[in-house]
Amino acid sequence: MTPLVFVHGFMGGSRQWADQCAALGHNFEVIALDLPGYGENAHLQAPDSIAGFAAWALDELSKQGVEQFHLLGHSMGGMIVQEMVVQAPDRVERLVLYGTGAAGVLPGRFESIDTSKQRASADGPRATARRIAATWFLHCEAASAYEDCAAIAECTSLQAILAGLDAMHGWNGVDHLPAIRAKTLVLWGDHDRTYPWSQTEQLWQSIKGASLAVLPDCAHAVHLEKPGLFNKMLDEFLRN
């Protein structure tokens, strides 16, 4: 059976996908990556480009003997998986672009990337992790999954925070969208504070045959806010 690869977003990590690994593991071999500079790979130097992250992920999968796979990317991870498709289009069978967009500079983001860089340098990685993680949930710090999510974000070094922000700032994948041939699902929470509807709509309209799922009463972390619904939609898309 084709493996399912999860690529986390900015200040994320593989542990965020524990519920998905448990729920979907009976149908798929599930591989949750930790990008360099994040999660279990926080000791590694983070690239400062989306292309660099994509090349690392493809190489890591090759080292694991995984050549063909389904691919899900969340947030910055959604940019990375778009770039993975550009670099290795024949390796991706089905694609899920979740809470993401095709442009690194995000109009309507809760704050600009430049502001995030300035605040991260001034406040330090731990405070930055907790502040940004709160924006991912509809109910912010009161969300049940917030503390675990913030703890994962706290693993990120200042180098990785700044490199990730630079990577997003310097990337634009709009021109590559029409060339995507993998069967694609675009998935978005209707109260996402990071990626506005315009970014989601652009993915949906620009990728030929893409399906769209908008999940209600969720922000940027749908897989943690409504995991049952998220898992069901993902399972049905991948198996049908």
| Segment 78-97, tens digit of pLDDT | 999 999 999 999 999 999 99
Q: d(Cα 193, Cα 99) in Å, to the nearest integer? A: 10
In which element (H, E) is residue 129 found? helix 125-135
Domain 4-239 belongs to what topology?
Answer: Rossmann fold (3.40.50)
Residue 44 has pLDDT above 70, yes or no: yes
Position 9 scores a pLDDT of 97
Comparing CA positions, the residue from 90, 79, 17 lying closest to residue 52 is 79
Strand partners, 189: 215
* Three-state DSSP class for residue 94: strand
| Segment 63-75, tens digit of pLDDT | 999 999 999 999 9
**For residue 59, how many C-alpha atoms fall within 13 Å in the half-sphere facing its CB?**
8
Residue 105 has pLDDT above 90, yes or no: no
Comparing CA positions, the residue from 3, 176, 211 lying closest to residue 98 is 211
Which CA distances in Å does 20 have to 4, 104, 196, 214, 235? 10, 26, 25, 18, 10
Lowest mean pLDDT among 106-115, 122-131, 152-161, 165-174: 106-115
The residue ranges of every structural domain in the chain are: 4-239
| Segment 8-20, tens digit of pLDDT | 999 999 999 999 9
Q: Which residues contact 148 (CB under 8 A, 6 or more apart)?
A: 15
| Segment 112-145, tens digit of pLDDT | 888 889 999 999 999 999 999 999 999 999 999 9
In the predicted model, what is the mean pLDDT of the chain? 95
Position 1 scores a pLDDT of 84
Comparing CA positions, the residue from 42, 100, 40 lying closest to residue 71 is 100
Task: Give the tokens for residue 163.
Answer: 């490199």
Model confidence at 108, pLDDT cuts 50, 70, 90, reads low
Q: d(Cα 147, Cα 126) in Å, to the nearest integer? A: 13
Q: Mean of the pLDDT values across residues 193-207? A: 95
- Cα-atom radius of gyration of the chain, to the nearest Å? 16
Q: d(Cα 71, Cα 82) in Å, to the nearest integer? A: 10
